[in-house]
């Protein structure tokens, strides 16, 4: 039996925490943040991964990158966690909830198609319990209508659809590392960016409107970063 909600422990955690403290870098974007991002980029074959403070923060960033305006419509499943819905509400977008496939408890692709209007800008799907949505049908729909796709893959870390990692199909994928998820850091998340045109703006949004990430890479001087 696999017990629920017991964080996995490998035995090296205290050693790593001591090393982070010794590096005087415990606020993030230190040695272990970089290792984790790089590991996920290589493991999931995604061009950019940004670590976040939660899966909710990853969803908020993804929606901000969509440039939604008041009156734009976002299609999402009627059965999901609240963060899937609160993220687009920050942009004052209109939520369009659609029904599920009762076999999987995931969003029904045909209901997505029926809900599309000329105001639809974004589709958010959620892979419930690590079970993939029907990505073949969903990708056909979003490409046909030129829509942005966000994957709420909070429960889908290490899960896949036809050999491709969940979170790497749409424009953005969002992972959670909350204590109830497959892999836990207590609180934490990750934004997967599948289109490099979003990279720089995502870094700026993540750094509260600054280009601090470029400073950390040595690309700008500390007295000139914006």
Residue 114 within any structural domain of the chain: yes
pLDDT for the residue 217: 73
> Range of 94's domain?
46-194
pLDDT(15) > 70: yes
175 in any annotated domain: yes
CB burial class (10 A; 0-12, 13-18, 19+) of residue 133? buried
Which pLDDT value is given to residue 26?
A: 79
H/E stretch holding 126: strand 120-126
For residue 219, being part of any structural domain is answered with no
Question: What is the rounded distance in angstroms from the CA atom of residue 209 to the CA atom of residue 101?
Answer: 40
Q: Of 181, 208, 214, 222, which residue is the catalytic one?
A: 181
DSSP letter, residue 102: T
9: confidence class by pLDDT, cuts 50, 70, 90: confident
Instruction: Confirm if 93 and 73 have CB atoms less than 8 A apart.
Output: yes
∠ CA(154), CA(124), CA(178), 5° rounding? 15
41 within a domain of the structure (yes/no): no
Residue 1 lies in a domain: no
* pLDDT band per the 50, 70, 90 thresholds, residue 1: low
Tell me the CATH number at 118. 3.40.640.10
Q: Per mean pLDDT, which of 24-33, 157-166, 177-186 is the most reliable?
A: 157-166
- Specify the number of domains making up the chain: 1
Alpha helices in 45-161 (DSSP H): 55-64, 82-89, 109-115, 135-144
- This prediction has a pTM of 0.91
Coil, strand or helix at 158: coil
> Is it the case that residue 4 has pLDDT exceeding 80?
no
Q: What is the pLDDT of residue 2?
A: 66
Q: What is the mean pLDDT of residues 192-199?
A: 95
Pick from 140, 164, 149, 132: nearest CA to 195 = 149
25 catalytically annotated:
no
Mean pLDDT of the chain, nearest integer: 92
Q: Determine what percent of the chain is predicted with pLDDT higher than 70.
A: 97
Does residue 29 fall inside a structural domain?
no
Q: What is the mean pLDDT of residues 145-166?
A: 97
In a domain? residue 11: no
CB 206 within 8 A of CB 50: yes
**pLDDT tens per residue, range 78-122:** 999 999 999 999 889 999 999 999 999 999 999 999 999 999 999
CB atoms near residue 21 (< 10 Å): 10
Q: Is residue 72 part of a domain?
A: yes
Angle at 88 between CA 213 and CA 79, to 5 degrees: 120
Tell me: the pLDDT tens digits for 21-63?
998 877 778 899 999 999 999 999 999 999 999 999 999 999 9
């Amino acid at each position: 039996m696999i017990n629920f909600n017991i964080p996995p422990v490998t035995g090296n955690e205290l050693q790593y925490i001591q090393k982070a403290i010794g590096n005087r870098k415990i606020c993030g974007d230190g040695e272990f943040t970089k290792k984790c991002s790089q590991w996920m980029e290589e493991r999931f074959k995604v061009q950019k991964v940004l670590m976040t403070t939660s899966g909710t923060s990853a969803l908020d960033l993804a929606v901000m990158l969509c440039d939604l305006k008041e009156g734009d419509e976002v299609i999402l499943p009627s059965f999901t966690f609240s963060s899937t819905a609160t993220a687009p509400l920050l942009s004052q977008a209109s939520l369009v909830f659609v029904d599920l496939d009762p076999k999987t408890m995931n969003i029904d692709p045909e209901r997505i198609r029926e809900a599309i209007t000329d105001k639809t800008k974004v589709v958010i799907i959620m892979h419930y319990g690590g079970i993939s949505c029907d990505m073949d049908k969903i990708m056909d729909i979003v490409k046909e209508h030129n829509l942005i796709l966000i994957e709420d893959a909070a429960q889908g870390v290490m899960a896949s659809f036809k050999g491709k990692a969940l979170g790497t199909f749409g424009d953005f994928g969002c992972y959670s590392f909350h204590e109830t998820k497959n892999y836990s850091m207590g609180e934490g998340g990750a934004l997967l960016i599948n289109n490099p045109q979003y990279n720089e703006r995502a870094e700026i949004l993540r750094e509260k409107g600054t280009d601090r990430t470029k400073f950390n890479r040595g690309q700008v001087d500390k007295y000139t970063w914006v």
